[in-house]
Amino acid sequence: MRWFFALAMALLLCCCVQEETKIETPTPTPPETPTTTVPTTPLTTPSEKKELKEVVPVKEREEIPKEFLIKLKPWPLVRGTERSDCYTPEIPRRPEIAGIANVSANFRGEISTPVVDDIVFLFDSQRVYAYRDELLWSFNVEESFGKDIKAYALGDYLYVGTTAGKKGFSLIAFEKESGKIAWHKEVDIAGSVSALTVSDLVCVGTDNLDPWVMCFTQDGELRWKAKVAGTVNGFAVGNGKLFVSSNKLYAFELKTGKLLWEIDKSYSAPLYKNGIVFVTLYGYVYAFSEDGKQLWKKYFGAGEDQYFNPLLSASDYALYIPRTLGEKNLALQVVDFDGNLLGLFNLTKDEIPGFPVASNSVVILPAKTESYGKIYILWRGTEKLYELKHAGSEVFMPKVAVSNGKIYVVFSDNRSSQKLYVLSDRNVPRIASVEVSAENDELAISALVSDPESAIYRVSLAYFDGGKWNYKDMDLGRRYVREPVGGYGISEELYTATLRVKERVEFYVVAVDNSNNVAYSKVYAYALT
């Protein structure tokens, strides 16, 4: 029994040892599983590359805003502007005849120069005539006031100055549209009106019988007056000063009449340009600074008319001086502001030049012989672009005005019959083609444009990418060493521009000529798709 018990105890001990060993033995670590690298999927996928494609436009074009047009001006004074420079912003190169009318314009032994805003005013010695396509109204000053017309100008009203009567001269203000008299002044001095200009004030000069300068408000209130040395030949206004020529050359402060300086010599009527006062005498042109210092004096054979108005005009860059005196051939001379000759245009035999009208690029030169009157339109004053001749007998010098892009010329058939020609450019520019190429998000646009009548002022791209139409100027595709005669666009020229497109853009080409005629291309549209 003892051996049985010992055997049982040994077996029990062996089982316990085996169970304890099982508990302490760690669980085997499984073998590592091989891994394969798999690209991770991004949170967002890149969009497909977009291309510019032409689509259907949805926005209508608009009329080009006025600020993109030339600021054309009326012709309110006989010599164009208050500066007496016979200057106008632009002139058609090759105009067409828009109308011809029979008029009465024999004014003091010559043709009257029209003064024009949207109404054309002409004068003979007794009557005022107002035209808009046809006669609008007329008024007989001699019949109503017993006086002849001596001078006239446009401002708030049409102002007319007369010869002296028993109560002196009359200054009459007409309503432009109706011809009714808004007010008139009887100025009790012996002198007749010899000159009249309008700036902020209406300034009148009188003749040698009683020579005065008088300046009125445009409603007829006398602001100031000053006695001068002789017949007032003419005025020019510039930089707040009134320059007056009589037997002396004067400068007055325009607002107050304060005398600033005087030169004891009798010159032609003055012209003011770029801070310089120009006058003529015995064929010489004189240049004075605003403070009365003589800058230069040179002989150009420059003449005057019978009322001492100089045959002289000025652009922003040059003087235009017809040569009417001396042994040389008669010609139009182009002179810089230092008196240096830049070029000239020779007239044909027997032609006599008149008062030139100047823009910064084109000059109109009237001329006459015994058998005809003529105007030349000249590029830079030296190269002929156009001419118009009108035959007659006992011919007066043609008179020219340019108002709001139209040319008004009065020719004489004879001393008792005159004709008013209206010349203009009514043709829009030609947009021959528009080409568009697209690359990535950019459009390259080119246009072939021309205007043989007035040349091109600007070519713009109107574009819309949300909001309103915007404008950018297109670039001239090529520039020449010498600008073409007549200006860029007189012949076909290439203009280019680029547009960067965000999502969608619509655009069209706008061409403006130097007479403010406007042409438009069709509207194009492109989108990134």
- The greatest distance separating any two alpha carbons of the chain, rounded to the nearest whole angstrom, comes to 182
- Give 3-state DSSP helix, strand, coil % of the chain, rounded to 5: 5, 50, 45
- Which domains are assigned to the chain? 52-67+428-528 (2.60.40.10), 71-424 (2.130.10.10)
Cα–Cα–Cα angle for 66, 70, 75, rounded to 5 degrees? 110
For residues 327 and 324, give the distance between their C-alpha atoms in angstroms, rounded to a whole number: 9
Q: Give the pair of three-digit tokens for residue 392.
A: 């007659």
Query: Which pLDDT value is given to residue 291?
Result: 96
Q: Which helix (H) or strand (E) holds 23?
A: helix 2-24
Residues with Cβ within 8 Å of 417's Cβ and at least 6 positions away in sequence, in order, are: 102
- Give me the half-sphere count of Cα atoms (radius 13 Å) on the Cβ side of residue 305: 21
Query: Which pLDDT value is given to residue 296?
Result: 99
Cα–Cα nearest to 84, from 336, 268, 354:
268
Cα–Cα nearest to 345, from 377, 315, 382, 379:
382
Q: How far is CA 220 from CA 156, 201, 255, 377, 518, in A?
A: 11, 9, 15, 39, 41
Query: Which pLDDT value is given to residue 327?
Result: 73
The side-by-side arrangement of strands in the sheet containing 442-450 is 430-439, 442-450, 493-500, 475-476
Q: Give the pair of three-digit tokens for residue 428.
A: 């829009």
For residues 232 and 38, give the distance between their C-alpha atoms in angstroms, rounded to a whole number: 102
Torsions phi, psi for 48 (to 5 deg)? -70, 150
The stretches in the chain having pLDDT less than 70 are 1-49
Query: Which pLDDT value is given to residue 397?
Result: 96
Per-residue pLDDT of 336-381, as tens digits, reads 999 999 999 999 989 999 999 999 999 999 999 999 999 999 999 9
Output the pTM of the full model. 0.89
Cα–Cα nearest to 87, from 319, 314, 372, 427:
314
User: Is 271:278 a contact under the CB 8 Å cutoff?
Assistant: yes
Residues with Cβ within 8 Å of 467's Cβ and at least 6 positions away in sequence, in order, are: none
